Amino acid sequence: MAGLYIHVPFCKSRCIYCAFYSTTLLKYRQRYVDAVCKEIALRGENIDTIYLGGGTPSQLTIPQLKQLLETIHLYNKVAENNEITIECNPDDVSEEFASALPQLGINRVSMGAQTFDNERLLFLHRRHTAEQVTLAVERLRKAGIHNISIDLMYGFPNETINDWEYDVDAALRLDVEHLSAYCLMIEEGTPLYMQLRVESSEFKVDEELERQMYELLINKLTAAGYEHYEISNFAKLGFRSRHNSNYWRDIPYIGIGAAAHSYDRQCRSWNVADIHQYMEAIERDEIPCERELINEDTHYNDRITVALRTKEGLDLNSLTTRYRQYITEQARPYIVENLLRIQDHHLILTRKGLFVSDMVMSDLMMVD
């Protein structure tokens, strides 16, 4: 069974670090939802998980969310024990919004807290305050949502290790079921990239400090009982993200909406990243996407980049003899250096290897 991802690109305002496709043209929400529902009808499948991501899905109205979910169930065979996640901005979680989610069948909420420092939230152009994160969690609990995830971010300009420890401790006090933490990426084309380039032509990332922050994160969360099941993700027992875990396990997924990606092991496809082009095409009964066929080497490389992110690592028995021999040879020096280990026929990053995972994965790939 596949995972279903719905991209909701609407944002009330844009964060300066975000490189995902989004728009502030909220007046198109209903037309867009109608188009998404039409694409859903064109692409019915058997699905195990549903994920409403963005953008800011919580910028949709409750009737619009109801329309989406009813359409999904009408045209797809949805597993009974499903996981339905919605991404929310904390300041969107009113008592009315929170209480509506379980009635819609939504049983998991992912919120972008990012930091509990209000000055850094302003720097990121986030709409919410640190206090609103706590309030949102309280409202969701009261409404009966018992699977909450929050995102944290570290590596801000001028952030200290003590600043980061404060954020991690604040997150732990919320006692949520799932935590994700990402280093702030300064991606070309974002307002943050332009801002830092103008302010300081010599802005440099302190890689050693980022390593210390990541180590502090692992130590704090594992000591608090969270399972470190993927490079950037931590969960209480039984609360791994099923939807994202499907990505890492090479399970097909369907992406609906502007800029959404789909994958079926043989082919990758992605919809046009423009709501106007997207809506106009769907209204003509066309799906505006591009496709890429995946050859064996590309599929192998994809497996490396997702499976090695996980606690279980890459199942060597799932590879053909050719790729198993290749990766075993490539991995040998990293096993000697204690960056990789083999356990029960799985190739796994060690704790030490987590800190250089990009380099290790790159060297395990097939190259032309």
pTM given for the model: 0.93
State the average pLDDT over residues 216-226.
98
pLDDT > 90? residue 189: no
Tokens 């009737």, residue?
Answer: 63
Predicted confidence (pLDDT) per residue in 130-178, tens digit: 999 999 999 999 999 999 999 999 988 889 999 999 999 999 999 999 9
- Integer Cα distance of 285 and 276 in angstroms: 14
Q: Which bin fits 99, alpha (ψ -120 to 50), beta or left (φ > 0)?
A: alpha
- Integer Cα distance of 155 and 72 in angstroms: 38
pLDDT at 202: 47
Torsion sign over Cα 287, 291, 296, 299? negative
Residue 231 φ/ψ, nearest 5 degrees: -45, -45
Q: In which band, very low, low, confident or very high, does the pLDDT at 201 lie, cut at 50, 70 and 90?
A: very low
CA separation, residue 208 to residues 59, 155, 218, 359 (Å): 38, 11, 16, 16
Predicted confidence (pLDDT) per residue in 278-327, tens digit: 999 999 999 999 999 999 999 999 999 999 999 999 999 999 999 999 99
State the average pLDDT over residues 193-203.
56
| pLDDT over 70 percentage in the chain | 92
Tokens 């300041």, residue?
Answer: 91
- Integer Cα distance of 68 and 41 in angstroms: 11
